[in-house]
Structure 1
Amino acid sequence: MMSREQNDRIACVGPGDPAGRLLRRYWQPVALLDEFDEARVGPRPVKAVRVLGQDFVLFRDEQGRWGLLDRDCPHRGADLAYGRREDGGLRCPFHGWLFDVEGRCLETPAEPEGSRLCDRVRQRAWPVQVRAGAIWAWLGDGEPAAFPDLDCFVAPDTHAFAFKGLWECNWLQSVEVGIDPAHASFLHRFFEDEQPGEQSYGRQFRSASSDSDLPMTKVMREHFRPEIYVEPAPHGLQLTALRRISENSTHVRITNQVFPQAFAIPLSDEMTITQFHVPVDDFNNYWYAFFTSFGAPIDKALMREQRLKMHELPEYRPRVGRGNQYGFDPREQLEQTYTGMGADINVHDQWACESQGPIQDRTREHLGTTDKAIMAYRRLLLQAIDTVEKGGSPPMSMDAAQAAAVRGPVTMDAIGPGGSVEALCEFGRGIDARRRARASWGAGR
């Protein structure tokens, strides 16, 4: 059982909090490129963002350069998110002070002619990069770490798609649901099977495993006691869940915890998801899902359309949530689904996370054997926090050479033979290797 001090230590993310100092050692996605698409959101590329309990303004200047500045104007604290993009920067509407993407003050136009006040003023600016359909920010001190060569970061634009959604709870409980292999047999249980077919939004467990026509719904429903194995990996943790179907048949699912706040899971035989949970503050987080295709190019318009039907802009707030009881239908719970909350597994996960409260009270929980991935992750998190406090480098805080060595990770979902854990893991790696060999961009990775 965890103490309240330990709970706060790993959950709270302000600038002075232990977990907050850790997360500032990693690049954080702060917006989707889609949020700056003029065709959908208009011609003004300026956006207020709140990340890790801090307020910023993100903008793109006339030259196409990205800037992330502290949101309060250094003159008298007015809100730069309402600034005018003009003359090479962002101009505060209060007195016209102008700042470029690096935070330099270019003009203080109300000051007397010849004033050099602007030479002494600088707004805090933060490094930004564009990767995988999102804008990422470095919110810590010192030289930014390199991006690891994860699939979602190296796939070509044609084979990658990004989306996000807002959940009203702490980031940590959202990460933990993604590294819990046991919950799918209950939270995502369906009482009727569908014919395996094309994947659609929110119906991940309604299709079939690789190399099989056995419906995933049947596998999850009837084999609800997985053997779970957790191993250290260069990216964090690799999780293997085995469901023994018969003496000669085993369902093998390999997923990953990508340190510090992401997980990588298979969506289908050809597509994976790497999902980051980014704290807005201690009580809210955005999930950023990065879809990577090893097969055909992604139909981004279709994927975007499917997801926008379930989310309200500009906040990407789910249309189904606490305010309408997550669509709960007691008759459906009796006859169709375990939750009674529809077929969208994203709603199921949202309920599981938000129902734990704004910050889960882990002093009241009682973990079981199937929670071994949760326990391993928390140990890793606490160790990394200790490392940062002692002035060291935490996991996945790497230079370019180290980052280039972090590949993958392996994800797969397939029906394999019986046999030992080692043999089944090797089977899983073989499935992943064949998928990569077929991919136009993944060969050799």
Structure 2
Amino acid sequence: MISAEQNDFLCRVEPGTPAGKLLRRYWQPIALSVDLEGPRPVRPVQLMGQHFVLFRDESGKLGLLDRDCPHRGADLAFGRLEHGGLRCAFHGWLFDAKGSCLETPAEPAQSKLCSRIRQGAYPVVERAGTVFAYIGEGEPPAFPDFDCFVAPESHTFAFKGLFECNWLQALEVGLDPAHASYLHRFFEDEDTSASYGKQFRGASADSDMPITKVLREYDRPEISVEPTEYGMRLTALRKLSDTSTHVRVTNMVFPQAFVIPMSAEMTISQWHVPVDDTHCYWYAIFTSFTGPVDKQQMREQRLKLYELPDYTSRKNKSNNYGFSVDEQLTETYTGMGEDINVHDQWAIESQGPIQDRTREHLGSTDKGIIAYRRMLVKAIESTRAGESAPMLIDDAQARTLTGPPSIDGIGATADTDGYWQSADRERRLKSDWASARLAA
């Protein structure tokens, strides 16, 4: 249990807040590359309470600018893409991707005003179908050589979804391995061969046992938390017999991402990115160790559940998340359909726009959440003191950070650590792109 002041210290990220200053030191996902397809690649973006406009100019270069025009404050998200930049529709002032003012057409021909105007501009990069932005001070950190960033583009797929709640309670779901046995419980096991693109519907690695059966019948995992260079590793063990144990290894990548297994062939790297203090997006990069990802199937599956352009869930608080009494009695524990993101959405949105942690009572299974909050507090305090924080890495450090291993499988009870390490290596050795990296 923490105080209201401590809760605000951790949760609030808008300009001027301690946690907001910390998160601004890192790259943040702000859009999917597919969002910038079509005849007009311009999109408004809100990140940690600040408003921007993202665009791709005629040459293909990305730009991220403050959304209000420095002339009279009009909305640049309605601007026109032309002549190498984004032109304000109010008076025609033109800005390039670096924020330089290229033209002020209503001014006299001899005017020097244009040379003195500069719009706020921020670094943006594309990785694995996702646009990342850096809105902090100084130089941004390097991207680590994690699987999602080094796999071929053909072997990754990106998607996102909107949650109407604070980013921290959304992130903490990924630090809680115990919840899956209830929140994501299915009463019947499907054909695991038809589970492509669906989380918690396939078979655990090195077995033919559906993960749904594991979660349903073994609901008291033994959870351990281990600090790592990138954040922390969480291991959840569900003992099936004296000789076999289900092993699930997930990772928290500081400050607000986690890497988890989706299936024997795929992992998910997921960020929880604050729009403001009471809304956040989850961004997920799915990475395949076998063949190329069927991007069309993956996107079509998800667009049945999410509406464009804002990627809002079709099942939400306005329709009780699709809750069905009959389904809850016979099919799923929640009665809210098969998509686990909807389950998560209900769980975290039902805590309120910002969870009141003065009323919570943590248990032993919450050790990952407790460890993360301590890490977060320490990093916020370090930032306030002008010191470093985890994962503020340079290029040399970034090359040493690989993986991280993320496994869901069944191994020998006598050596669970050895199992997940060997399972990770074996999967990489069988992968064209990952095995090449091992050889290097």
TM-score (norm 1): 0.97
Amino acid at match of 1:287: W
- Please say if 1:383 is aligned against 2:378: yes
> Hey, what's the Cα distance between the residues in 2 that align with 1:194 and 1:90?
50
Instruction: Please show how residues 113-262 of structure 1 align to structure 2 within 5 Å.
Output: 113-201=109-197, 203-262=198-257
Partner of 2:404, secondary structure, is coil
Residue number in structure 1 paired with 2:74: 78
What are the equivalent positions in structure 2 for 1:263-342 lying under 5 Å apart?
Answer: 263-342=258-337
Structure 1 CA distance for aligned equivalents of residues 212 and 29 of structure 2: 33
Give, in whole Å, the separation in 1 of the partners of 2:112 and 2:6: 50
Residue 424, structure 1, aligned to residue 416, structure 2: yes
Over residues 266-325 of structure 1, what are the superposed CA-to-partner deviations in whole Å (9 max), with x where a residue is unaligned?
011010000011110001111100000000111111111111111111101111111110
Q: Post-superposition shift, 1:61?
A: 1.0
User: Counterparts of 1:119 and 1:430 in 2: how far apart (Å)?
Assistant: 60
3-state SS, counterpart of residue 280 of structure 1? strand
Structure 1: which 4+ aligned runs deviate by more than 4 Å?
A: none
Higher mean displacement: 158-167 or 189-198: 189-198
Report the Cα distance in structure 2 between the residues aligned to 1:333 and 1:5, rounded to whole angstroms: 38
CA distance in 2, matches of 1:144, 1:104: 21
- 2:53 aligned partner, one-letter code: V
Structure 1 position 24 matched with structure 2 position 24: yes
Aligned residues: 437
Which letter does structure 2 place at the counterpart of 1:69? L
- Show the counterpart of 1:366: 361
Match of 1:440 among 406, 426, 432: 432
How many Å separate the matches in 1 of 2:216 and 2:233? 24
User: Residue in 2 aligned with 1:413?
Assistant: 408
Shift of residue 204 of structure 1? 2.0
How far off is 1:217 after superposition? 1.5
Match of 2:12 in 1: 12
Q: CA deviation at 1:194?
A: 2.3
1:55 aligns with 2:47: no
Q: Cα deviations across residues 159-188 of structure 1 (Å, max 9, x unaligned)?
A: 011011111111111111012100000101
Deviation for aligned residue 1:215:
1.8
Once the two structures are TM-superposed, the CA of residue 196 in structure 1 deviates from its matched residue by: 2.4
In structure 2, C-alpha distance between the alignment counterparts of 1:44 and 1:191, rounded to whole Å: 46
User: Contact between 1:155 and 1:292, CA under 8 Å: does it hold in 2?
Assistant: yes
- What's the offset of the Cα at 1:140? 0.2
C-alpha displacement of 1:68: 0.3
Give the partner amino acid of 1:28.
Answer: Q
Asked if residue 37 in structure 1 is aligned to residue 32 in structure 2, the reply is: no
Amino acid at match of 2:370: M
Match of 2:94 in 1: 98
Distance 2:152 2:187 in 1: 39
Secondary structure of the 2:247 match is strand
**What's the CA shift string for 1:74-93, capped at 9, x where partnerless?**
01100000011111111111
Deviation track 1:363-401 (CA, whole Å, cap 9, x = no partner) reads 110000000000001111111101111111110011110
Gaps of 5+ in 1: none
How far has the Cα of 1:198 moved from its partner? 3.3
Give the % identical residues: 63
Residue identity in the other structure for 2:122: W
Q: Which amino acid aligns with 1:433?
A: R
Structure 2 gap ranges (5+): none
Query: Is this contact kept in 2: 1:223–1:244, CA < 8 A?
Result: yes
2:424 maps to a residue whose letter is: D
2:391 is matched with 396
Q: Residue type of the partner of 1:214? A: M
User: What is the SS of the residue equivalent to 1:358?
Assistant: coil
| Structure 2: distance between partners of 1:418 and 1:113 | 79
- Whether the 8 Å CA contact 1:80–1:92 is kept in 2: the answer is yes
**Distance (whole Å) between structure 2 residues aligned to residue 204 and residue 276 of structure 1:** 17
Post-superposition Cα deviations, 1:185-208, rounded to whole Å, max 9, x if no partner, equal 01011112223223244x422221
Kept after mapping to 2: 8 A contact 1:240/1:425: no
CA–CA distance in structure 2, aligned partners of residues 194 and 161 of structure 1: 24
Q: Is the contact made by 1:51 and 1:281 (CA closer than 8 Å) also made in structure 2?
A: yes
Is residue 349 of structure 1 aligned with residue 341 of structure 2?
no
1:132 shift after superposition: 1.1
Contact 1:27 1:137 in 2 (8 A): yes
CA contact (8 A) 1:272 1:411 kept: yes
AA in 1 matched with 2:10: I
Secondary structure at 1:342's aligned position in 2?
coil
2 CA distance for matches of 1:342 and 1:72?
Answer: 41
Cα separation, 1, equivalents of 2:84 and 2:43: 17
C-alpha displacement of 1:426:
1.6
Q: Deviations over 1:36-69 (max 9, x none)?
A: 122xxxx011111101110000111111111100
Secondary structure, aligned partner of 1:363: helix
Distance 1:25 1:58 in 2: 19
1:111 and 1:196 mapped to 2: Cα distance? 67
RMSD over aligned Cα atoms: 1.0
d(CA) in 1 for partners of 2:423, 2:159: 27
Calculate the TM-score normalised by the size of structure 2: 0.98
Secondary structure at 1:379 match in 2: helix
User: What is the match of residue 110 of structure 1?
Assistant: 106
